[in-house]
Amino acid sequence: MTPDDLKELAQLIQLLRESPEIGSIEIAGRFGKRVVVTRSSSRSLTASEPGPIETVATPPSRPAAEAPRATAAPPPSTLKEIKSPMVGTFYSAPEPGADPYVKVGSRVSAGQTVCIIEAMKIMNEIEAEFGGVVKEILLENAQAVEFGQVLFRVEPHG
């Protein structure tokens, strides 16, 4: 990165700090990569208050024409969603070749690990916040995931 690129990246981070309504900023094709700057805390940041800001650089994504299209209808109101708490890469199993943490039809308990999201070379175990039966898995292994994106739809215990 050039000094000008670093200055521009610092300006984007400042914009994120000053705009609590913005959760993340993504720039594709800049800095030689796809760059995502995201708020890593749910509390608002101000310009005078330093806070945790995360910058993720990943290889360029597939062109929009190749991106998979979601055509599923909205889930029935009885299903609860497990969403991604961060930007990263979704992994369904603890290591390559291992069985996935959960499959469609699996019963999960609150606190049970359902997947891993890799962010900045750190493997983050994602746990179910409630118990139920997995009805839908919305991502494929090693697929990029955005903050707040739905990972699973679960029918809660009755």
Q: Does the pTM exceed 0.75? A: no
Mean pLDDT of 72-81: 70
In the structure encoding, which two tokens stand for residue 85, read together? 């708490």
Q: What is the pLDDT of residue 33?
A: 59
Q: What is the pLDDT of residue 15?
A: 72
For residue 89, pLDDT over 80 is answered with yes
For residue 69, pLDDT over 70 is answered with no
Question: Band of the pLDDT at 79, cuts 50, 70, 90?
Answer: very high
Mean pLDDT of 68-81: 65
* Dihedral (CA of 48, 50, 51, 56) sign: positive
Counting beta carbons within 10 angstroms of the beta carbon of residue 33, is it exposed (0 to 12), middle (13 to 18) or buried (19 or more)? middle
Distance CA 146, CA 119 (A): 11
The residue type at 139: L
Comparison of pLDDT for 29 and 107, the residue scoring more: 107
Sequence-ordered alpha helix ranges (H) in 2-126: 3-18
Closest of 133, 134, 96 to residue 118, by C-alpha:
96
Query: Among the listed ranges 42-46, 69-73, 81-85, 126-130, which one has the minimum average pLDDT value?
Result: 42-46
In the chain the domains, ranked by start, together with CATH numbers, are: 3-61 (no CATH), 80-156 (2.40.50.100)
Mean pLDDT of 77-91: 92
Distance CA 150, CA 93 (A): 17
- For 115-151, write each residue's pLDDT tens digit: 999 999 999 999 999 999 999 999 999 999 999 999 9
Closest of 121, 115, 99 to residue 151, by C-alpha:
115
CA 28 and chain centroid, separation: 17
In the structure encoding, which two tokens stand for residue 11, read together? 């300006």
- For 5-54, write each residue's pLDDT tens digit: 667 777 777 776 776 666 666 665 555 556 666 665 444 333 333 444 45
Distance CA 85, CA 153 (A): 15
Mean pLDDT of 108-118: 96
